[in-house]
Copies of this chain bind each other. A is one copy, B any other.
């Protein structure tokens, strides 16, 4: 825990908050200190991203997945999963039109017989011109992959990939962590709106329409507001060299609001609203509700932690993986610490299914996905990144934008997606 980082981020973010009379030492500059966040339309480059549950890459069943704008062919042969650019460098043929694996280590293009090593992407040979000088040279992009906890991760970038542990939230790789993985689905918004929406302290209100809290009679609030002072006491930003970079907001001090008042105006009286599930609930009961004790955090490049959720002993972890400018994969998994292989199997199977996937993936986070889609047009077509109003509780979003701009390893560009830098 490094108080200094949090304080500094608060100082750098506060001048941009419309709601604040800021008395700090930094004044807002025309060039916002989160320029890289604004540039990262297609994602951050040189990071690991989860692609899918490993179970969904089956033996001898090639699949194309587009990530950060790059069209990637995945193939598992004799258990070994590989990923290469789905585009022959010769004339741009998509391998996936007719994927040919004459050996377990190569792919042959259906068009002109160029044959590539699956592991490094270089040209092994050209079947109809074995003497070609291109053999052993040039090639396609091959992607580093890692499978862990039933999740397939891919590294998208140009540098030697750092350990996976630097790009997953803390704890994921611990031996006693069992992970239940849901099938990812496509959300029609930019990935950054996923990140911001995940830990946004002001968005709780949307979950009053989520089946899980409705079914269980858990009162959801109008949302909490953290002040800058709260954040200083509850939020840790971490940049240890051997671990992931991100933050944890510990149980917020600010009370959640179950009642709200629309103030009077002229002859209109004030109107007080109590949210349906909180009607008749004592203040004590409200205050005691377990939802208060949840930690939330976000980790580079795009992994959210909600701990515990939906109940004791379970950690919810989700990622917003860029597909292109206008869509991302919503990748979700639920963790539990286990004491035996037996417990692990149970959690990965029916226990995780009923205790995490049904309540969270089916009953809760759909509303988050809808919320992102509900602001997608503003940010994509209406200059939202400039026109938004940064309110009090949005300071956390601004702090993250600055932190991410400071800590990303690069920006994905359209040129990367076109493959111009690869060959």
Contacts and interface: CB of A to CB of B under 8 A. Distances in A.
A224 B128 contact: yes
A205 B110 contact: yes
Nearest to A103: B271
Given A379-B92, A418-B382, A418-B383, A128 B18 contact: no
B224 A377 contact: no
Interface of A: 18-21, 87, 89-94, 97-98, 102-103, 105-106, 108, 110-113, 115, 117, 124-130, 132-134, 138, 202-206, 209, 221-225, 257, 260-263, 265, 268, 271, 273, 370-371, 374-375, 377-379, 381-384, 387-389, 391-393, 418-420, 423
A132 B204 CA distance: 18
Contacts of A98: 209
Nearest to A225: B129
Contacts of A393: 128-129
Contact of A223 (B113, B273, B420): B113
Nearest to A208: B110
A386 to B, nearest CB: 9
Interface centre among A111, A371, A418 (most CB of B within 10 A): A111
Main secondary structure of the interface of A (DSSP, over half): loop
A391 B132 contact: yes
B260 A130 contact: yes
Contacts of A387: 89, 92, 418-420, 423
A339 to B, nearest CB: 40
B115 A262 contact: yes
A130 B261 contact: yes
Contact of A92 (B21, B108, B382): B382
